[in-house]
Structure 1
């Protein structure tokens, strides 16, 4: 990502997109916790997302991920507790990013004299 053309609002918007897509992937993992041979997935890191040309189109790469929590006999490696922790962390990060984005807009309104 070229720093000279980076907008704070654009980066914040991309972060919100990345977080919402990660939450969807984690929810899909949880939904398939009892599906035989289902492999847990996760999105690419936010840094990789920002550096990928697809980020300009809002596309987040999804790949299979290993787990240190183990797997079941049927080949499913989704551990609901692990996915729930990741989902809670992602939700917290989304709330923080949304608040920062909103505060940025409020600061712009104050600077423009509309508040």
Structure 2
């Protein structure tokens, strides 16, 4: 019933983006001492949404194309800034990764809050408040 609701799809996409970003951050932190390792990060969620032009499409028949996978596809890219690399070629900054992890937790919490609020609204509309 609520799978086609844009609010739930957006919250789900934000949660998937936060999970993928947290995975990249944890891999960066695990490889903080690996020579030559290049830090990776997910592109901003706003860029992911802009690349999904089919958000407004509806699937009314089984033969129609389904929901675009672009919403749940997260692209990772190198986050090397000039002067960041250590002498062994590693570009991981643990301080930056900790800040990114806190920002990612906030994004995940936001997605859960939006999802929870949507469920509360649906329950209220059904009289099950």
> Which residues of 2 match residues 97-108 of structure 1 at below 5 A?
97-108=111-122
TM-score when normalising by structure 2 = 0.76
**Structure 1: runs of 5 or more not aligned:** none
* Larger gyration radius, structure 1 or structure 2: 2
RMSD: 1.9
> Which residues of 2 match residues 37-52 of structure 1 at below 5 A?
37-50=36-49, 51-52=51-52
**Structure 2: runs of 5 or more not aligned:** 53-67
For the 8 Å contact 1:40–1:77, the answer to whether it is kept is yes
For the 8 Å contact 1:23–1:87, the answer to whether it is kept is yes
Higher RCO (CA-CA < 8 Å; seq separation 6+): 2
TM-score when normalising by structure 1 = 0.85
